[in-house]
Chain A
Amino acid sequence: DTEVTQTPKHLVMGMTNKKSLKCEQHMGHRAMYWYKQKAKKPPELMFVYSYEKLSINESVPSRFSPECPNSSLLNLHLHALQPEDSALYLCASSPRRYGSGATDTQYFGPGTRLTVL
Chain B
Amino acid sequence: SQQGEEDPQALSIQEGENATMNCSYKTSINNLQWYRQNSGRGLVHLILIRSNEREKHSGRLRVTLDTSKKSSSLLITASRAADTASYFCATDPIIQGAQKLVFGQGTRLTINP
Binding site for B on A (CB under 8 A): 4, 6, 31, 40-45, 48, 56, 88, 90, 92, 94, 96, 98-111, 113
Contact = CB atoms under 8 A, between A and B. Distances in A.
Interface stretch (B12-20, B54-62, B97-105): B97-105
A45 B105 CA distance: 14
A104 B106 contact: no
Interface residues of B, number: 25
Say what secondary structure dominates the interface of chain A: loop
Given A42-B103, A45-B100, A94-B99, A102 B42 contact: no
A4 B43 CA distance: 11
Contacts of B41: 110-111
Nearest to B92: A103
B99 A113 contact: no
A84 B108 CA distance: 24
B33 A105 contact: yes
Contacts, number: 73
Contact of A42 (B33, B42, B50, B88): B88
Interface string B26-58: 000011010100001111110010100000000
26 contacts: A41-B105, A41-B106, A42-B88, A42-B103, A43-B43, A43-B88, A43-B103, A48-B99, A56-B100, A94-B99, A98-B99, A101-B30, A101-B98, A103-B99, A103-B100, A104-B99, A105-B33, A105-B48, A106-B43, A106-B101, A108-B35, A108-B44, A108-B45, A110-B42, A111-B41, A111-B42
